[in-house]
Structure 1
Amino acid sequence: MDYLPVFMNVRGQRCLLVGAGEVASRKAALLVRTGATLIVVAPWVSDAVRELVKEHGGEIHERGFADGDLDDVVLAVAATDNDDVNKRVSVLARERKLPVNVVDQTELCSFIVPAIVDRSPVVVAISTGGSSPVLTRQLKEKIDIMLPAAYGRLAFVLGTLRERVKQGVRDFARRTRFWEKLLAGPMPELMLAGREQEAMQLFEASLADADNQSLQGEVYLVGAGPGDPDLLTLKALRLMYAADVVLYDRLVSPEIMKRVRPDAERIFVGKEAKHHPVPQEQINELLVRLTREGKKVLRLKGGDPFIFGRGGEEIDKLAAAGLPFQVVPGVTAASGCAAYAGIPLTHRDYSQSVRFVTGHMKNNLPDLDWPVLAREEQTLVIYMGLITLAVICEQLQAYGMSSAMPVGIVEQGTLPQQRVVTGTLQDIAEKVEAAQLKAPAIIIIGQVVKLHRQLSWFNPDAGEIGSTAQKSQKPEER
């Protein structure tokens, strides 16, 4: 983030506004809405600003800006049409360590004013860091439409009930669960519909029964998909915000982790080839222990947890312990990476079936059924096979697959840094080494790989979707 989002209490505080024209009047209106005491300095003052000061109180000084105007104020806003004055206000305010905003000149600002959706006490602030005011306005419009006006009343009522709940439910964890359960039920909808009496009856019944509710933990086994956060399911997002603790692996992208509830405890349990810092059995035991402690545990896995994700082992342990869990499937790496590389896994003219296998080693060879895999009328998708790629290509050719069979490798699939290298069984290992591809990467073998050139639509280098051109890549990396 370029800016730290902060809600500042300026009620009753002196706030300096330098300038009093049309733009300044909008800043003045915002400041008085927050209860600030407005101090206006300008050679000419518009009627709108005069009316605001007359109605809400404050001071007007009809003259040019002076250094002493920054005395005894908590922040300054410069909104004049004189660049020299604006810069001077900015420099002097920064010297005094006062927050300063210069309208439409972000380089002179120590804070910027976001677009606001006001459902007080619910306030939503939206900002693009000054990069696109029009986009900011459009986002504000979308949220304004989505957020009912009655949310302000709901938040106010909940605020009046906090002390009663705190006295009635002493344990912090139980109190948190009480609020979560209350707000996940019909009470908010009753409030939004204007049926406040019914909502309060439901609240009273819930509070009276709060001590009888068990602090039940649960595990959410969630597939995070191949990396692009837009591929998360709606249910996955909901549970990511509900969890108290998150156990995540190395294939969960940083962009995905940003969607997790900010205050959730995060525990990294990632594994990679020949390096398992947290053994699987220890992960299983950790899930059991945290759930028994009453925690809502998010087990977040790259791709889909039931496709080479060992998710079955983890919930088997939970089931044996009699603990509750949910499973949320995710877009597996095979379908996600293939789609973003423009490689259909099946195609009427090229492939009527697809096989998912792993490149794990056994006795120094991938443990695979080579005669079955060497059949050419299918598509092979090999997970975790980059290290053994040369051996895989040799074995498939040894069991009868053509050396000219197309092969595609997708590195960091669905992410902005995605790269695709294509070749054949005969030369793909050499091309991958030359391109220095690293895990995570998926291997796709079959005639469908031929379609990559004409169907490729995801061009991360150009930041475009829908383009088949990838001019910035070398020919062998297309």
Structure 2
Amino acid sequence: MEQSSKWPYFPVFLRLRGRRVLVVGGGEVAARKLRLLAKTDARLEVVARELNEELTQASRDGVISHVAADFDATQLDGCLLVIAATDDAALNRSVAAAADARGIAVNVVDDPLPSSFVTPSIVDRHPLLIAIATGGQAPVLGRRLREKIETMLPAAYGRLAGFMGARRARVQAALPQADRRGLWENFLDGPGAEAVLSGAEAAADAELQRLLDGDARRGEVYLVGAGPGDPDLLTFRALRLMQQCDVVLYDALLPQAILDLVRRDAERIYVGKRRARHTLAQDQINAELVRLAREGKRVLRLKGGDPFVFGRGGEEIQELAAAGIAFQVVPGITAANGCAAYAGIPLTHRDHAQACVFVTGHQRADGTLALHWDALARPGQTVVIYMGLNTLPNLCDQLITHGLPADWPAAVVEQGTSPEQRVIVSTLRDLPAAVIAADVKGPSLVIVGSVVTLREQLRWRDRV
């Protein structure tokens, strides 16, 4: 069907401070509209014989003025806006006709034909507001788009808008109009905006002053945890930084589905480490982060899991701090949390485990494992072993030797959270042989503890 090229409504934002806004109706529909209107400084009046519980409380609190009467057209005098929100369609249209006759903007809820304005779906990041309207034709679509934008726009964007507004005069006094836009674009593209979003306002002010002084844009490093593999487990903040970086240094084991979410034109540098195969040594990675940031680039250091859980993130930011490079750290869901949850194995449970211990099964150069076996071989706790597949026979033997029963529950989760996830449940005595029989070769996590016995009840993902 051909659509008219003319807009049915003109999008505007109205200043309502001190102005009368009348809502006719005292039920849930009216309450929904008043929840939004109450965010303004309008003088809100409600005409209805009776109010529902929510609006009754709003009247007691002084949020609204209640006119306990039937609607009369004279009640419209002096109003800027009117909303008809009763369950009587004929009354709503009577309100609309009376408002139109007085030149007052009116909205009839769920009835666009007599309405002179519609209320949009709103994304609230005060003072930043985003309004979405479909001309009254598809309000459900408008709400669905609002939900999508809500997930893409951090709550702190309101703080960013407020920061910039509070410093407009400072920038206007320092720069001619032709140069202001470029400065603000550099601020938004650099560490200044990120400092505001993370709550570091003093650092943001320092960055703004540096730009006002004419310094070139500084680089920054984003140390981001990508989680255990499922892209749906990325945090909003991780996704935002992935989509604004200039270059990404990424590890092994990151699935292509996550790498596909990185900004398309970002330079990609693979720095992955696998057992006995290192593309770059850690000190080379550290140096590369510093070099790229000094070139003024926004550098994404993308790691599987969480950067601070066996991810060498601490080593990398030590180097950045020593070099004076701006950086931020975005936690990710570590493999223990993600893989255990997707396997249906709770890490703690009041009947099974009151503590949880994370250790690495990575062996020393001489082939030994330097772990506190007496502390690990205890009931009443869960032990999660990262990088333990290659040393699994030794791990199981040591835990038995130091006190755990040979039939103590244990499991291996291979490629956890991915569509290829496999879970091998066994005992300490039999797990190494079960892993060999299953030909487990992918990235794996070992979970030891009586919580493993709960998997049969809680294996939710197998039923999805």
- Taking structure 2 as the reference length, what is the TM-score of the superposition? 0.58
Equivalent pair of 1:218/1:295 in contact (CA under 8 Å): yes
Partner of 1:49: none
Q: Deviations over 1:275-332 (max 9, x none)?
A: 1121111000001101111111111111110010000000001111111111111110
Equivalent pair of 2:222/2:301 in contact (CA under 8 Å): yes
Q: Deviations over 1:86-144 (max 9, x none)?
A: xxxxxxxxxxxxxxxxxxxxxxxxxxxxxxxxxxxxxxxxxxxxxxxxxxx98786227
SS of the residue 1:458 aligns to: helix
Partner of 1:267: 269
Equivalent pair of 2:228/2:339 in contact (CA under 8 Å): yes
Amino acid in structure 1 at the alignment position of 2:235: T
Which whole-Å CA distance do the structure 2 matches of 1:260 and 1:417 have between them?
Answer: 23
Which whole-Å CA distance do the structure 1 matches of 2:413 and 2:433 have between them?
Answer: 15
Amino acid in structure 1 at the alignment position of 2:233: L
Cα shift at 1:352: 1.0
Amino acid in structure 2 at the alignment position of 1:276: H
Pair 1:180-2:180 in alignment: no
- Taking structure 1 as the reference length, what is the TM-score of the superposition? 0.56
Q: Deviations over 1:335-392 (max 9, x none)?
A: 1100111111111111111110001112212221222211222111000010111111
Which whole-Å CA distance do the structure 1 matches of 2:286 and 2:376 have between them?
Answer: 33
SS of the residue 2:277 aligns to: coil
Equivalent pair of 2:190/2:298 in contact (CA under 8 Å): no
CA spacing shift, 1:454–1:146, aligned 2, 3 Å? closer
Amino acid in structure 2 at the alignment position of 1:180: D
CA spacing shift, 1:266–1:181, aligned 2, 3 Å? closer
Q: Deviations over 1:10-60 (max 9, x none)?
A: xxxxxxxxxxxxxxxx3x669x99xxxxxxxxxxxxxxxxxxxxxxxxxxx
Describe how 1:54-73 pairs up with structure 2 within 5 A. Answer: none
Pair 1:229-2:236 in alignment: no
1:383 aligned to 380, 386, 392, which one?
Answer: 386
* Gap runs ≥5 in structure 2: 7-138, 151-175, 195-207
Cα shift at 1:394: 1.2
Partner of 1:454: 457
Describe how 1:114-153 pairs up with structure 2 within 5 A. Answer: 142-143=144-145
SS of the residue 1:453 aligns to: helix
SS of the residue 2:273 aligns to: coil
Which whole-Å CA distance do the structure 2 matches of 1:437 and 1:139 have between them?
Answer: 46
Which whole-Å CA distance do the structure 2 matches of 1:385 and 1:139 have between them?
Answer: 49
Cα shift at 1:176: 6.6
Describe how 1:150-299 pairs up with structure 2 within 5 A. Answer: 177=186, 180=189, 212-299=214-301
1:318 aligned to 317, 320, 323, which one?
Answer: 320
Amino acid in structure 2 at the alignment position of 1:351: A
Describe how 1:72-87 pairs up with structure 2 within 5 A. Answer: none
CA spacing shift, 1:277–1:144, aligned 2, 3 Å? closer
CA spacing shift, 1:319–1:257, aligned 2, 3 Å? same
Describe how 1:336-347 pairs up with structure 2 within 5 A. Answer: 336-347=338-349
Cα shift at 1:179: 6.3
Amino acid in structure 2 at the alignment position of 1:222: V
Amino acid in structure 2 at the alignment position of 1:400: G
SS of the residue 2:371 aligns to: coil
How many residues are treated as equivalent by the alignment? 298
Partner of 1:392: 395
CA spacing shift, 1:433–1:233, aligned 2, 3 Å? same
CA spacing shift, 1:176–1:359, aligned 2, 3 Å? same
2:377 aligned to 353, 368, 374, which one?
Answer: 374
Amino acid in structure 1 at the alignment position of 2:345: I
Partner of 1:364: 367
Describe how 1:10-89 pairs up with structure 2 within 5 A. Answer: 26=1
Partner of 1:438: 441
Equivalent pair of 1:251/1:301 in contact (CA under 8 Å): no
SS of the residue 1:285 aligns to: helix
Partner of 1:405: 408
SS of the residue 1:338 aligns to: helix
Equivalent pair of 2:224/2:307 in contact (CA under 8 Å): yes
Equivalent pair of 2:220/2:296 in contact (CA under 8 Å): yes
Cα shift at 1:262: 1.3
Cα shift at 1:145: 7.5
CA spacing shift, 1:139–1:440, aligned 2, 3 Å? farther
CA spacing shift, 1:243–1:430, aligned 2, 3 Å? same
Cα shift at 1:210: 6.4
Q: Deviations over 1:122-170 (max 9, x none)?
A: xxxxxxxxxxxxxxx987862277679xxxxxxxxxxxxxxxx9x969x
Equivalent pair of 1:360/1:367 in contact (CA under 8 Å): no
Instruction: Give aligned-pair identity as a percent.
Output: 53
Equivalent pair of 2:191/2:218 in contact (CA under 8 Å): no
Cα shift at 1:273: 0.8
Cα shift at 1:442: 0.5
Which whole-Å CA distance do the structure 1 matches of 2:283 and 2:412 have between them?
Answer: 32
Which whole-Å CA distance do the structure 1 matches of 2:345 and 2:451 have between them?
Answer: 6
CA spacing shift, 1:292–1:342, aligned 2, 3 Å? same
Cα shift at 1:439: 2.9
SS of the residue 2:358 aligns to: strand
Equivalent pair of 1:406/1:424 in contact (CA under 8 Å): yes
CA spacing shift, 1:210–1:419, aligned 2, 3 Å? same
CA spacing shift, 1:144–1:356, aligned 2, 3 Å? closer
CA spacing shift, 1:147–1:331, aligned 2, 3 Å? closer
Amino acid in structure 1 at the alignment position of 2:280: V
Cα shift at 1:180: 3.3
RMSD: 3.6
Pair 1:422-2:425 in alignment: yes
Equivalent pair of 2:191/2:326 in contact (CA under 8 Å): no
Which whole-Å CA distance do the structure 1 matches of 2:392 and 2:147 have between them?
Answer: 52
Which whole-Å CA distance do the structure 2 matches of 1:138 and 1:454 have between them?
Answer: 38
Which whole-Å CA distance do the structure 1 matches of 2:426 and 2:368 have between them?
Answer: 22
Equivalent pair of 2:233/2:333 in contact (CA under 8 Å): yes
SS of the residue 1:361 aligns to: coil
Partner of 2:34: none
CA spacing shift, 1:294–1:183, aligned 2, 3 Å? closer
* Gap runs ≥5 in structure 1: 1-25, 34-136, 149-164, 186-205, 465-478
Which whole-Å CA distance do the structure 2 matches of 1:327 and 1:183 have between them?
Answer: 15
Which whole-Å CA distance do the structure 2 matches of 1:334 and 1:221 have between them?
Answer: 20
Amino acid in structure 2 at the alignment position of 1:366: L
